[in-house]
């Protein structure tokens, strides 16, 4: 009988593999996050985790080997920190958005809603034909999406890379901003830090704060996005564009 009980307590092959993979971050992930990563593992979205590729104020991004349900080699796994008071300052991007109801003002509810929001915004971007990571799945504070890079090496940001044809890249960024607006979405945090360059093409990232155009601050956020982009290209490449004319191009 003792031997039978011992067998019954043995973890499944999948649970064992996940436990081994998560040893790379032992003591970093809380139990809740580990369980959520495990669900993506069991669903075939990820097969294993490799290493951290980006650290942010509210989330870290890890490189993961893709599971059988993803037709690529790698997945970018964005893990939002569950205990981060900074998210309290982000509630304005959720509550003013007509797509969402009221959210409890505790960090766990806000983080989970933020992750869900970024997944939904990436779906909108994909539908609009905007260059952005393709969303694969999310669970709680864990978001799986397309990895932008080559051979496991992440792409550089617009700020880190000197582009060969800055006029063309600027036009592409503004055109994607216009496509987002036509799909009733404003990025709301666009800058040279939230654009990755892959094969000389700009890809927008970090869509958690993106809002519906009916959000009361949507136009102010759009004005800020346009200012940030035009200011960077003016400073880095001496390209001058009229702000008001650019706004008219985007909003139609």
Indicate which CATH number applies to the domain containing 119: 3.30.200.20
CB 145 within 8 A of CB 134: yes
Task: Quote the tokens at residue 178.
Answer: 């216009």
How many domains in the chain? 2
Query: What distance in Å separates the CA atoms of residue 186 and residue 210, rounded to the nearest whole number?
Result: 5
Provide, rounded to the nearest whole percent, the portion of the chain with pLDDT above 90: 71
| 107 and 175 part of one domain | no
Same domain for 196 and 221?
yes
pTM: 0.87
**End-of-domain residue from the set 150, 184, 213:** 150
2-6, 56-60, 160-164 — which one is most confidently predicted on average?
A: 160-164
- Give domain status of residue 59, yes or no: yes
Check whether 144 has a pLDDT greater than 90.
yes
Residue 166 above 80 pLDDT? yes
Same domain, yes or no: 206 and 238: yes
pLDDT at 6: 42
* Main-chain phi, psi angles of 84, to 5 degrees: -145, 105
63 plus 81 within the same structural domain: yes
C-alpha to C-alpha distance for 139 and 48, rounded to whole angstroms = 17
SS3 assignment, position 223:
helix
CATH assignment of the domain containing 203: 1.10.510.10
The reply to whether 30 falls in a domain is: no
**Which residue has tokens 């990232």?**
205
| Distance in Å from the first CA to the final CA of the chain | 75
Whether residue 18 is contained in a domain is answered as no
Query: Are 192 and 236 in the same domain?
Result: yes
Same structural domain for residues 167 and 122? no
Other C-beta atoms closer than 10 Å to the C-beta of 169 total: 21
User: Do 189 and 137 lie in a common domain?
Assistant: no
Residue 130 included in any domain: yes
Q: Which residues contact 34 (CB under 8 A, 6 or more apart)?
A: 22
Is the same domain home to 120 and 207? Answer: no
Decide if 4 is inside a domain. Answer: no
Q: Per-residue pLDDT for 22 more than 90? A: no
Asked whether residue 89 falls in the same domain as residue 159, the answer is no
Instruction: For residue 16, tell me if it sits in a domain.
Output: no
Backbone dihedral region of 155: left (phi > 0), alpha (psi from -120 to 50 degrees) or beta? beta
Spatial contact of 48 and 38, defined as CB atoms under 8 Å apart: no
- Segment among 43-52, 71-80, 103-112 with least mean pLDDT: 103-112
Instruction: Assign 206 a pLDDT band (cuts: 50, 70, 90).
Output: very high
Do 131 and 166 share a structural domain? Answer: no
pLDDT at 191 over 70: yes
Using CA atoms, how far apart are residues 248 and 242, in angstroms rounded to an integer?
A: 10
Are 145 and 48 part of one and the same domain? yes
Q: Which of 125, 150, 175 is the last residue of a domain?
A: 150
Residue 231's pLDDT is: 98
Residue 241 domain-assigned?
A: yes
Res 58: pLDDT: 85
Domain residue limits at 112:
43-150
pLDDT digits (tens, 9 = 90+) for 66-89: 999 998 999 999 999 876 556 667
Is 97 annotated in the active site?
no
Answer yes or no: are the C-beta atoms of 77 and 38 closer than 8 Å.
Answer: no
Structure-model confidence comparison of residues 87 and 220, the more confident one = 220
pLDDT of res. 15: 59
The span from the CA of 249 to the CA of 235, in Å, is 22
Q: Does the annotation mark 206 as catalytic?
A: yes
Q: Check 97, 176, 206, 225 and give the catalytic one.
A: 206
Same domain, residue pair 181 and 226? yes
Q: Which listed residue (189, 199, 217, 242) is catalytic?
A: 189
């Amino acid at each position: 009988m003792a031997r039978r009980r011992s067998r019954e307590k043995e973890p499944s092959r999948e649970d064992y593999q996940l436990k081994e993979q998560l040893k790379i971050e032992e003591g970093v992930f809380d139990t809740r996050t580990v369980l959520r990563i495990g669900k993506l593992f069991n669903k075939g979205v990820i097969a294993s985790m490799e290493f951290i590729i980006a650290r942010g104020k509210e989330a870290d991004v890890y490189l993961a080997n893709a599971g059988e349900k993803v037709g690529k080699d790698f997945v970018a796994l964005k893990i939002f920190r569950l205990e981060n008071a900074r998210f309290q300052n982000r509630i304005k991007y959720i509550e003013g958005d007509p797509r969402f109801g009221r959210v409890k003002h505790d960090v766990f509810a806000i983080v989970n809603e933020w992750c869900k929001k970024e997944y939904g915004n990436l779906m909108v971007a994909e539908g609009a034909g905007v260059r952005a990571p393709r969303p694969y799945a999310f669970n709680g504070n864990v978001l799986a999406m397309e990895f932008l890079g080559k051979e496991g090496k992440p792409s550089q940001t617009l700020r880190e890379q000197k582009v060969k044809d800055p006029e063309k890249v600027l036009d592409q960024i503004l055109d994607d901003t216009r496509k987002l607006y036509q799909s009733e979405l404003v990025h709301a945090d666009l800058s040279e830090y939230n654009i990755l360059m892959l094969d000389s093409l700009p890809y927008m990232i970090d869509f958690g704060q993106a809002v519906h155009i009916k959000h009361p601050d949507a136009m102010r956020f759009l004005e800020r996005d346009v200012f940030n982009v035009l200011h960077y290209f003016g400073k880095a490449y001496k390209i001058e564009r009229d702000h008001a004319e650019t706004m008219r191009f985007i909003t139609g």
